[in-house]
């Protein structure tokens, strides 16, 4: 295993145990049972996740001086369970408010492999399940929407080069409006999200993805540090196209 150190890789498997999770930063140490392979220790900002969930992770192998070889997660995403047992375990994990082990069993009994699709596309159908009234249904639908919305935002940000830890901080600021905010003005993230002053380089590739690469988006926020006029093209910015930030940063 030693030869893996500093190698980048992608893994997929099931979280069999969460050893540690910081309640504020959500830094997590967990055991990932790889599909068809041995279990490995994964570390990083992996949230929200619970035991029994299947995830994909990308990152690099690192050797901790005390705990040995670990997989440092830079990007991750959930994989929806594809079996009855997996769906029931996922819903019964406590991650979705209003659904415990009992209601997870009832939902799966009612909708089978279509359970997750029903929750997403036809949520009112959960009223067909014995014991789920309007109050519980509203609680479940709200929790499900929040959970899936956060997951979609994390996938979106990580797909544009934002690390998992920073993506979580961005989501905490903008919530469900994250994607809209990033599309409208990715450079504003540097002002509004704590810790992003040193991450201005991230704004440029995100802006590029939405066709905003040749202008400073006509917003003063993107020139806070370089002090260029807000309508000046990026190519003529005094700090130049490479980083849009002063050398001190």
Higher pLDDT, 144 or 164: 144
What's the whole-model pTM score?
0.61
Start-end ranges of CATH 2.40.50.140 in the chain?
A: 2-79
What pLDDT score was predicted for residue 237? 43
36-92 residue pLDDT tens: 777 899 999 888 787 878 899 999 999 999 989 999 998 888 888 888 988 898 888
Is the pLDDT assigned to residue 229 strictly greater than 50?
no
Start-end ranges of CATH 1.10.150 in the chain?
A: 84-153
84-135 residue pLDDT tens: 988 898 888 777 889 999 999 999 999 999 999 999 999 999 999 999 999 9
What pLDDT score was predicted for residue 238? 37
Residue 152 phi, psi (nearest 5): -65, -40
Is the pLDDT assigned to residue 240 strictly greater than 80?
no
Task: Report the run of H or E that residue 121 belongs to, with start and end.
Answer: helix 115-121
The topology under which CATH files domain 2-79 is OB fold (Dihydrolipoamide Acetyltransferase, E2P) (2.40.50)
What pLDDT score was predicted for residue 129? 96
Q: How far apart are the first and last CA of the chain?
A: 37
The CATH classification number of 84-153 equals 1.10.150
Task: Report the run of H or E that residue 141 belongs to, with start and end.
Answer: helix 134-158
Residue located via tokens 């769906």: 87
Q: How many alpha carbons lie under 13 Å from residue 218 in its C-beta half-sphere?
A: 1
């Amino acid at each position: 295993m030693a030869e893996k150190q500093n190698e980048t890789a992608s893994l997929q498997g099931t979280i069999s145990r969460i050893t540690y999770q910081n309640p504020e930063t959500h830094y997590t140490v967990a055991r990932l049972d790889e599909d068809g392979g041995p279990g490995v220790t994964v570390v990083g900002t992996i949230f929200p996740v619970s035991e029994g969930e299947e995830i994909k992770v990308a990152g690099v192998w690192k050797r901790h001086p005390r705990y040995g070889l670990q997989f440092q997660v830079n990007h991750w995403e959930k994989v929806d369970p594809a079996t009855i047992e997996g769906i029931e375990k996922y819903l019964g994990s406590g991650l979705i408010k209003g659904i415990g082990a009992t209601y997870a069993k009832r939902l799966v009994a009612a909708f089978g492999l279509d359970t997750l699709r029903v929750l997403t596309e036809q949520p009112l159908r959960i009223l067909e399940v014995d014991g789920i009234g309007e109050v519980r249904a509203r609680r479940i639908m709200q929790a499900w929407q929040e959970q899936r919305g956060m997951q979609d935002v994390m996938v979106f940000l990580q797909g544009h080069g934002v690390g998992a830890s920073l993506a979580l901080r961005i989501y905490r600021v903008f919530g469900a409006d994250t994607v809209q905010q990033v599309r409208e003005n990715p450079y504003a993230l540097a002002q509004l999200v704590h810790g992003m002053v040193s991450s201005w380089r991230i704004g440029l590739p995100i802006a590029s993805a939405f066709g905003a690469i040749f202008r400073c988006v006509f917003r003063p926020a993107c020139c806070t540090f370089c002090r260029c006029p807000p309508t000046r093209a990026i190519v003529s910015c005094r700090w130049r196209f490479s980083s849009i930030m002063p050398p001190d940063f």
